[in-house]
Chain A
Amino acid sequence: MSFYLFVILSVLTLCSAFAVVLAKNPMYSVLSLIVCFFTVAGHYVLLNAQFLAIVHIIVYAGAIMVLFLFVVMLLNLNSETEPHKDNMLKVAAVITGGLLFVVLIASIKATELGTFSLPQKSNLGYVEEVGKKLFTDYLLPFEISSVLFLSAMIGSVVLAKKEK
């Protein structure tokens, strides 16, 4: 059951990902990306990361993608205005990406990974567990990321505010 789920989700993920890349209209790209994010969230659920799945949808689909959508619409981008590379370059891009994949896999030498012992704790991805981890071990990164946000916030304001 979960195997088939995995396969279906995977296919969906990959197809939507390709759609992002190939779509002529930026709007379609955005939408395919949203689809892709949902399928990834599905994988999270499969992998016992339920909390993360929710957060993922909220943050990505809900926030980031909206931002993208917003910008695309603001700038009024559509398939007519969409710039395209030469076909040669596109082929080269695909070949390069493919090569990268091959090389990565080759260097990982995807043999069977180390065995793991079942049963795993299935509550690993629950809010409780994740939260505990986040506020104990990962307290410092958590705090520090606030600096990141501050910086990004000020930056966005500085960059985008209309003036003069």
Chain B
Amino acid sequence: MARILFLVIAGVGLTSALSTVLSRNLVRAAVSLAGFFFTVACLFILLEAEFLAALQVLIYVGAVSILLMFGIMLTRGVQGTDLVSGPSAARLPGIVVGLVVFAVLGYAIFEEKGLRTQYSWGALDERTAIARGSKEPGSPLRSAVNNMGKVVGVELMTRYVIAFELAGLLLTAALVGAVAVAHREEDETRSTGSGVPPEKPEPTADKPNP
């Protein structure tokens, strides 16, 4: 059952990943990417990390893909062209490099030898479900799997407190920096730097007026 599920999810994921890369329409590519994010969430569920799965959907499918869409709507340079990306001269090298990376990663995963207490990655067949890893209900493993949100919270507040606060600082810095970089003074009508003469848009002329 789970194997079939895995195959289905992997198949869908592969398809959407491919269509992300191959689609010439940017929005469609972004939609495929969102689909791929979703299949990653499904894989997280198969790995019994439902907390991660929910976060994956919330952050990536819900937020990052929206950001991508807005980015696409924003950054298209010239009007009049369709929302497509042209075939690139780097396509063939890109494919080759991608395949090489894939081969290396695949080789690495297959060839991995477990260190002492670890399961070898290639021997996952013998591995039992994580939640079953320890029978007694109070074990950290079990609570970590069954109540990951809680355990993550406790760890964030104690062991990883510096990383946590630093993440807050990082988010703030990103917010501040992005605002500072993207912000243009409303009063100034200087050009965006693309050589376009500054042009004060008329207040209402561009409103679609049914």
A binds B: no
